[in-house]
Amino acid sequence: GKVDYKADQKFADHMKEKSEASSDFAKKKSLLEQRQYLPIFAVRQQLLNIIRDNSIVIVVGETGSGKTTQLTQYLHEDGYTRYGMVGCTQPRRVAAMSVAKRVSEEIGSNLGEEVGYAIRFEDCTSESTMIKYMTDGILLRESLRESDLDHYSAVIMDEAHERSLNTDVLFGLLREVVSRRNDLKLIVTSATMDSDKFAAFFGNVPIFHIPGRTFPVDILFSKTPQEDYVEAAVKQALQIHLSGMVGDILIFMPGQEDIEVTSDQIVERLGELDNAPPLAVLPIYSQLPSDLQAKIFQKAPDGVRKCIVATNIAETSLTVDGIMFVVDSGYCKLKVFNPRIGMDALQVYPISQANANQRSGRAGRTGPGQCYRLYTQSAYKNEMLTTTIPEIQRTNLANVVLLLKSLGVQDLLLFHFMDPPPEDNMLNSMYQLWILGALDNTGESNCLCTCNKKFSVPESDHLTYLNVYNQWKNNNYSSIWCNDHFIHTKAMRKVREVRSQLKDIMVQQKMNLVSCGSDWDVIRKCICAAYFHQAAKLKGIGEYVNVRTGMPCHLHPTSSLFGMGYTPDYIIYHELVMTTKEYMQCVTAVDGEWLAELGPMFYSVKQAGRSRQENRRRAKDEITNMEEEMAMAQEQLRTRREE
């Protein structure tokens, strides 16, 4: 279908005036003036008073009112950071990083000093950090090590309306922490919806509304359903751009792939036109390198319009000033448990009415705007849910179960969830964990999560095990020691047995028995020599890909490398398990050079002089040959074992 909207000329003129007045805003005003212009500034003292008088406060305010960037600073200015950090959680990594950067600029310090952030595999904080932005997953992990969150004087749970899985679990946990610690402040922020429900959940706590400052937004629905939302969005964006109306454009797409196609198409088609006005097309999604992400906030050169193509990160998490036009595809990506494959899958779904309203609101921040919805009014009314189903009710709960078990929660079915997940999901996840050996027959966790973190060797699970063994040995192989540290004595005895067998073999073979002492690199290299065919390379934040197949794979939450802020470029893994994702279990950091040295049939250090093409072909040939050999060797082993 063709997108067909008529822009009202009077409206366009009006917008032109408005936006000319506001476009230079950021350039002319100092950071302090910008801070003082935010709606939250007008209620700063009232807000601080209500926080002083209450342990828990719900703060509601339109996107862009200053909740995320200002609340932390207000608490800091009011003295809370004198006896602990002010933490602020975000459901998204990008938001945590970007907002921390902005706030460090506002405060006038380097990122990582007074203001820092922590996301999985990346800890940009220091001894001097007083304001810490982090993903909700990080705070959840921290609560494992320090259940009362003693390092914090205040925690802001931001973007609570998103109802991410981690946020929902944190709700239940923090409710208890606050009841134990009356010196901790908990602030839950939301962009309007669900605030009554939050207040009730935390025990009828006060709700503070930040008066908004928004402009009217014209909503224009598509007259007919669109078959291809990418195509429709491209057309719509070009139509706006060529209409002569002033103001930046924000397009909502479900994910990275659609964003890339949309951006490319817009640039390509604009290139085909003669004398088209310049347009800066700026994509934003979580995997985009952070320097490119930062571009969406930069001012475009005079006379250049910005066109941001975003996931729902731009719905409430990030606010970009100057947006006058929103183009809404009507879709988003959601993680949903797929019972057929027994895993969570990220799939494209229609958004909810709440999402749609948030999206259109983005056009009315700095002046009146327009929102083009690429779906019909009847689809909005009849097909869309009022609000999105919380993640906890639609995804696999294995991680949550494991985490709660590690925290010592006895009966998970009694855990205080705001919206409890279906009981069946909970029981299924427990069953799954039992199969994996993470829960025992009584439903208790024997994972390495809690106590055993103290044995962690940050670069290796194998060495972590060795560490456990050595300490057991130092404690005279005591079973009481095992019990005290939640370690299975039986398993340890087995380890000792295998060790002595290996030793016997070495003696028989007249091999030298020498210890490597404390030079554990030797051990890592030795493990590498046996497992180089199971290697993974760091791809993005916390994400690895199999070096040979290119398949994405993830660190298992029980790994000592998980969430330690240490991310080696190369690791080898002992085995792969499929639960919610493809997980590598038992991993060790290795040097890339070791892989080339010990597994030359698989890997080579890229050599100068030889073309990349040639390199690739060579490596591929050898891998195939090698894999055939391995298959044969395995077959032989199997038949031998059967005999």
List of residues contacting ligand ADP (CB under 6 A): 38, 61, 63-70, 98-99, 102, 297, 319, 321
What residues does 133 pair with on adjacent strands? Answer: 88, 117
Whole-angstrom distance, CA of residue 402 vs CA of residue 480: 25
Q: Which partner in ligand ADP, Mg ion, none is near 61 (CB below 5 to 8 A by kind)?
A: ligand ADP
Nearest C-alpha neighbor of 572 from the set 466, 480, 462: 462
Closer to Mg ion by CB, 18 or 67: give it: 67
Nearer to ligand ADP, 68 or 425 (CB): 68
In the bound complex, what is the minimum distance in angstroms from residue 408's beta carbon to ligand ADP? 34
**Nearer Cβ to ligand ADP, position 67 or 394?**
67
Number of residues that bind Mg ion (CB under 5 A): 2
Partner whose footprint covers residue 366, from ligand ADP, Mg ion, none (CB < 5 to 8 Å by kind): none
Minimum distance between the CB of residue 250 and ligand ADP, rounded to whole angstroms? 13
188 interface partner picked from Mg ion, ligand ADP, none, CB below 5 to 8 A per type: none
CB closer to ligand ADP out of 39 and 390: 39
Q: For 370, which DSSP code?
A: E
**CA pair distance 381, 300, nearest whole angstrom:** 37
Nearest to 74 by CA among 94, 92, 88, 62: 88
Q: How far separated are the first and last CA of the chain, in Å rounded?
A: 67
Tell the smallest beta-carbon distance from residue 264 to Mg ion (Å).
30
- Asked whether the beta carbons of 198 and 419 are under 8 A apart, the reply is no
Using the minimum distance from each CB to ligand ADP, give the nearer residue, 19 or 432.
19
DSSP state letter for 445:
B
Q: Do 368 and 272 form a contact (C-beta atoms < 8 A)?
A: no
CA 219 to chain centre: 32
Contact between 65 and Mg ion per CB under 5 A = no
Q: Whole-number minimum distance, CB 338 to ligand ADP, in Å?
A: 33
- Minimum CB separation from Mg ion for residue 67, in Å? 5
Binding characters for Mg ion, 120-159, by CB under 5 A (x = yes): ----------------------------------------
Query: Pairing mode, if any, of strands 570-578 and 552-555?
Result: unpaired
73 binds Mg ion (CB under 5 A): no
- Distance of closest approach, residue 119 Cβ to Mg ion, in angstroms: 16
3-state DSSP assignment of residue 66? coil
Token couple for 563: 């969430």
C-beta closer to ligand ADP: residue 322 or 421: 322
The answer to whether the CB of 296 falls within 8 A of the CB of 308 is yes
Q: Which of the listed partners (ligand ADP, Mg ion, none) does 137 bind, with a CB threshold of 5 to 8 Å by partner kind?
A: none
Q: With beta carbons less than 8 A apart as the criterion, state whether 285 and 313 touch.
A: yes
**425 near Mg ion, judged by CB under 5 A:** no
- For residue 396, the partner it binds in Mg ion, ligand ADP, none, with Cβ less than 5 to 8 A by kind, is none
d(CA 48, CA 26): 27
CB of 291 to ligand ADP, least distance (A): 13
**DSSP of 569-633, one letter per residue?**
SEEEEEEEEESSSEEEEEEEEE-HHHHHHH-TTT-----TTS-HHHHHHHHHHHHHHHHHHHHHH
CB-wise, 206 or 212, nearer to ligand ADP?
A: 212
Residue placing its CB nearer to ligand ADP in the complex, 64 or 330: 64
Burial, 144: exposed, middle or buried (Cβ in 10 Å; 0-12, 13-18, 19+)? middle
Residue 114 in 3-state DSSP? coil
Please choose, out of 26-34, 60-68, 342-350, 527-535, the segment that lies near Mg ion by the rule CB under 5 A: 60-68
Q: How far is the CB of 177 from ligand ADP (least distance, A)?
A: 24
SS3 343: strand
Q: Given the complex with ligand ADP, which of 99 and 401 has the nearer CB atom?
A: 99
In the bound complex, what is the minimum distance in angstroms from residue 189's beta carbon to ligand ADP? 7
Residue 68 makes contact with Mg ion by CB under 5 A: yes
Q: Which is nearer to Mg ion, 72 or 429 (CB)?
A: 72
Nearer to Mg ion, 198 or 229 (CB): 198
**Shortest spacing between CB 208 and ligand ADP, in angstroms:** 13
Buried b (16+ CB within 10 A) or exposed e, 416-438: ebbebbeeebbebbbebbeebeb
Q: Cα–Cα distances in Å, from 207 out to 47, 196, 202, 418, 467?
A: 10, 8, 11, 17, 50
Q: What's the chain's Rg over C-alpha atoms?
A: 28
DSSP 380: I
Please report which helix (H) or strand (E) contains residue 567, including its range: none
* Single-letter amino acid code for the residue at 563: G
Q: Which stretch binds Mg ion (CB under 5 A): 61-69, 374-382, 407-415, 567-575?
A: 61-69
Angstrom CA distances, 177 to 56, 187, 321, stand at 11, 13, 37
Nearer to ligand ADP, 67 or 453 (CB): 67
| Shortest spacing between CB 373 and ligand ADP, in angstroms | 22
Q: Of 153, 128, 142, give the one whose Cα is nearest residue 115.
A: 128
Which listed option, ligand ADP, Mg ion, none, makes contact with residue 56 (CB within 5 to 8 Å by class)?
none
- Minimum gap (Å) between residue 158 Cβ and Mg ion: 6
- Residue nearest to Mg ion as judged by C-beta position: 68
Specify the stretch interacting with Mg ion by CB under 5 A; choose among 65-73, 235-243, 417-425, 549-557. Answer: 65-73
The one of ligand ADP, Mg ion, none whose footprint includes residue 361, by CB under 5 to 8 A per kind, is none
Q: Which residues are near Mg ion by CB under 5 A?
A: 67-68
